[in-house]
A and B are shown apart, each in its own frame.
Chain A
Amino acid sequence: MAKHETPMLDQLESGPWPSFVSDLKAMAKIKPEVYDILGQLELSYEDRITHWKHGGIVGVFGYGGGIVGRYSDVPERFPGVEHFHTLRVAQPASKYYSTENLRKLADLWQKHGSGVTNFHGSTGDIILLGARTEALEPFFWDLTHEMGQDLGGSGSNLRTPACCLGQSRCEWACYDTQETCYHLTLHYQDEIHRPAFPYKFKFKFSGCPNDCVAAIARSDVSVIGTWRDEIRIDQAAVKEYIAGNYPSNGGAHSGRDWGKFDIKKEVIDLCPTECMWMEGGELKIDDTECTRCMHCINVMPRALRPGADQGATILVGAKAPILEGAQMSTLMIPFMKIEKENEFEELIEFIEKIWDWWMEVGKNRERVGESMQRVGLPTFIKIMGLDPIPQMIRIPRENPYVFWGEEEVPGGFDRDIDEFRARHAA
């Protein structure tokens, strides 16, 4: 495998942002097949089209997911990437690593594959790009035996769950996102590795409503931390903000002169529920009206903290536009305690109730959010055994077309037209 001329890619070696082209070139000196990745990518830049074939089912014995098959459509020109399969390796929660672990994984990947990776894929896995079919089983053997690690999900299964960094380094996390993610990931290894669903299914765990892992937009079950008591206020720290001694928004706006901090303009007036005011030099919050949007806490992190009675809001059904249009998750459970003590029993029960139904009625390649739309939210709520509450909707129905049940109407639906006509001439 020889070096190819790559005049277009070479132009991506300049500029202040780190260059993947320079990096690939450095790797090619160790693994010459990387010259062919560069060569084929250059060809795509010339042709303005991909040169990868559609699909190809490969994997390791016993798993239906974790590896995505990929073949070049110009293998005679770039034999080094004739096979270029992707492996998804399940990431540790919150993506902390020891260098010892990363170096070991690097050595394994150099031995079995191209040496090209993504840290990380969109769903959260470590992505290893570029292995030949015959390398898959040996890599998997070494990954499991030498490292005690495993592949993640792909296809119509539970995708590798992901979480924010949670309580490990964030003061706002309202439950242990790492432990929840880890526990459920281990609990559902079978569902991750052996596709049995109508389509993909994702969990994402965010510690607070800032939602740093985009759970509300990207996961079928979104677990987003919240609290149900009062925002904790340190009035002395509020005064420091007002005096300009603490930077607003944790210093996030320090690059521009926005003028002196104005608690009315920047906090009280931006509160979506208008439930804050100043009184006698103190900040007051009517917590019964608060919807826990996080804005005031974000702006004054040293003065305000989420309440102490913490848990999570559970929402269901987010997805990207394919096919019926994008959906955000819909609120199902306003507040659930998320605790290791009962092994997340309540959350697991909730998830499995969805699966029992969806695996039965979900159409091929129908995300659960689309199934919910198809049957309607009132039906879905009934299936989930939940009481309808106004928190589940943005606004009430704007049409009068209710599917009344026969049992809801006195006398039922059975009527006699002759008897009706005896009293009402046609």
Chain B
Amino acid sequence: MGYNPEKPMEGRLTDLGPPHYEQFMPPIIKENKGKWLWHEILQPGVLMHKSETGDEVYTVRVGSPRLMTLVHVREICDIADAHCGGYLRFTTRNNIEFMVDSKDKVQPLLDDLASRGSKFPVGGTGAGITNIVHTQGWIHCHTPATDASGPVKAVMDDLFEYFTSMKMPAQVRIALACCLNMCGAVHASDIAILGIHRKPPMIDNKRITGVCELPLAVASCPLGAVKPAKTEVDGQEIKTVKVTVERCMFCGNCYTMCPAMPLADPEGDGIAILVGGKISNARSAPKFSKLVIPFLPNTPPRWPETVGAIRKIVEAYAKDARKYERVGEWAERIGWERFFEKCDIPFTEKSIDDYRLAYNTWRTTTQFKFTSHIK
């Protein structure tokens, strides 16, 4: 049996959708669904949820690199088989959650996890720094301006003490997207690591005719920088496009639409840091992240400039913010001029918006602080 290439449509099954979730829920979860009363984080990485039935479920949260192989997946299964009746779940931030139905099963699970070297760090709860959500980068993507798994590993190695503790003023959500397409939507994160390009696309005139719909390439540019043009290739006149360089903001949308317009470059590409976004509606409304460091170079394998910049922000925030205050709420309370000063980040015109709706971000009040920026 199996797929028969001679008769590809015979016996084909389609549109089955995902399996029903209920068959994968551990009994303690299934029986208490909709009956949970409250929860408590007993120690970093260990949660207890109390049901109105009196039941308790203990969850051990474990970090993962997201990019994992079947070797790792099978080891996760071994752990769940040994301790959790063969069930587990993943969180939206790439953590693994092992659940047990009584307190005495927690310590053996923690001991098992600890015995496996650095593969299964316990933490990522409460007022700390949990796992970084991220994209593919150089391991798989065709448009990245930086790697993903490498910078994430480097940053998490550096911030590890905050993954395994809860001493921040509030949770700090870090996200990485390896280009402006933001598969890993980083635009509402406390700290966003964003791959950016800084050189306009090249035009591959030898290829453009075969691979691009020119009107789509022209229409892809939000600033009208891509225009129809003609050129000669091997003595033949062909239709192509040209780029008005002064208008290019390096979004890469043209390359997405037209493979003959590559823009990645070792010197041009790097990382921008945006801060102060949040998703939750708690206290203040959800916010977008703001660009505070326009460019840091790609320096594999450990991206020390990026790691250092994030640590500085994290430490300034940890020292200065009030309990419950997210990074963005803290920056708004102290004022962005003070934020730049406290984080020791040089302010440049790159942080002044000149895209759509930019005016909404200009200061139109006499209220400001006399920081070191005023000479």
Interface residues of A, count at CB 8 A: 137
From A130, A251, A292, give the contact of B40 (CB < 8 A). A251
From A49, A254, A295, A305, give the contact of B282 (CB < 8 A). A295
Cβ of A420 within 8 Å of any chain B Cβ, yes or no, is no
From B67, B264, B281, give the contact of A293 (CB < 8 A). B281
Cβ of B374 within 8 Å of any chain A Cβ, yes or no, is no
Cβ of A351 within 8 Å of any chain B Cβ, yes or no, is no
Contact with B along A246-261 (1 / 0, CB 8 A): 0101111111101000
Say whether A189 contacts B13, CB under 8 Å.
Answer: no
Interface members, chain A 91-130 (any B CB < 8 Å): 91-103, 106, 109-110, 115-124, 129-130
Alpha-carbon gap, A7 to B319, bound state (A):
37
**Chain A residues close to B by CB (< 8 Å):** 8-9, 11-12, 14-21, 23-24, 26-27, 30, 34, 37, 41, 44-45, 47-55, 61-63, 70, 84, 86, 90-103, 106, 109-110, 115-124, 129-130, 137-138, 140-142, 144-145, 147-150, 160, 162, 164-165, 167-171, 173, 176, 178, 182, 185-186, 189-190, 192-193, 209-214, 216-218, 247, 249-256, 258, 266, 270, 272, 292-295, 298-299, 301-302, 305, 320-326, 328, 364-365
From B36, B153, B264, give the contact of A12 (CB < 8 A). B153
B89 to chain A, nearest CB (A): 4
Say whether A294 contacts B150, CB under 8 Å.
Answer: no
Contact with A along B1-45 (1 / 0, CB 8 A): 111010011011111111111011110010001101111111110
Cβ of B183 within 8 Å of any chain A Cβ, yes or no, is yes
Cβ of B279 within 8 Å of any chain A Cβ, yes or no, is yes
Say whether B5 contacts A137, CB under 8 Å.
Answer: yes
Say whether A120 contacts B90, CB under 8 Å.
Answer: yes
How many A-B residue pairs have C-beta atoms within 8 angstroms? Tell me: 404
Cβ of B205 within 8 Å of any chain A Cβ, yes or no, is no
Say whether A193 contacts B14, CB under 8 Å.
Answer: yes
Cβ of B306 within 8 Å of any chain A Cβ, yes or no, is no
Say whether B92 contacts A250, CB under 8 Å.
Answer: no
Say whether A27 contacts B69, CB under 8 Å.
Answer: yes
Say whether B139 contacts A37, CB under 8 Å.
Answer: yes
Say whether B153 contacts A15, CB under 8 Å.
Answer: yes
Interface members, chain B 110-129 (any A CB < 8 Å): 118-121, 125-128
4 A-B pairs closest in CB distance: A252-B126, A15-B157, A27-B69, A54-B259
Say whether A149 contacts B138, CB under 8 Å.
Answer: no
Say whether B18 contacts A84, CB under 8 Å.
Answer: no
From A145, A270, A292, give the contact of B13 (CB < 8 A). A145
Say whether B251 contacts A47, CB under 8 Å.
Answer: no
Interface members, chain B 30-89 (any A CB < 8 Å): 33-34, 36-44, 49, 57, 59, 63-74, 76-77, 80-81, 86-89
**Chain B residues close to A by CB (< 8 Å):** 1-3, 5, 8-9, 11-21, 23-26, 29, 33-34, 36-44, 49, 57, 59, 63-74, 76-77, 80-81, 86-92, 94, 96, 99, 118-121, 125-128, 133, 135-144, 147, 149-150, 153-154, 156-157, 160, 163, 165-168, 171, 177, 180-188, 216, 219-220, 222, 251, 253, 255, 257, 259, 262, 264-266, 269, 277, 279-284, 286, 288, 298, 300-302, 323-324, 355-357
From A19, A52, A325, give the contact of B356 (CB < 8 A). A325
Could you say which of B2, B5, B142, B154 has the most chain A C-beta atoms within 10 Å of its C-beta? B142
Say whether B17 contacts A252, CB under 8 Å.
Answer: no
9 more A-B residue pairs beyond the given contacts A50-B143, A217-B188, A295-B324, with a C-beta to C-beta distance below 8 A: A27-B70, A50-B264, A98-B23, A119-B68, A130-B140, A164-B92, A214-B188, A250-B41, A302-B37
From B17, B96, B126, B160, give the contact of A17 (CB < 8 A). B160
Say whether A321 contacts B180, CB under 8 Å.
Answer: yes
A134 to chain B, nearest CB (A): 9
B215 to chain A, nearest CB (A): 10
Alpha-carbon gap, A139 to B130, bound state (A):
34
Say whether A141 contacts B2, CB under 8 Å.
Answer: yes
Could you say which of A15, A16, A48, A321 has the most chain B C-beta atoms within 10 Å of its C-beta? A48
Given contacts A26-B71, A62-B14, A294-B280, contact A97 B24 (CB under 8 A): yes
Given contacts A171-B36, A324-B222, contact A48 B253 (CB under 8 A): no
**CB-nearest residue of chain A to B21:** A93
A401 to chain B, nearest CB (A): 16
Say whether A86 contacts B147, CB under 8 Å.
Answer: no
Alpha-carbon gap, A178 to B81, bound state (A):
24
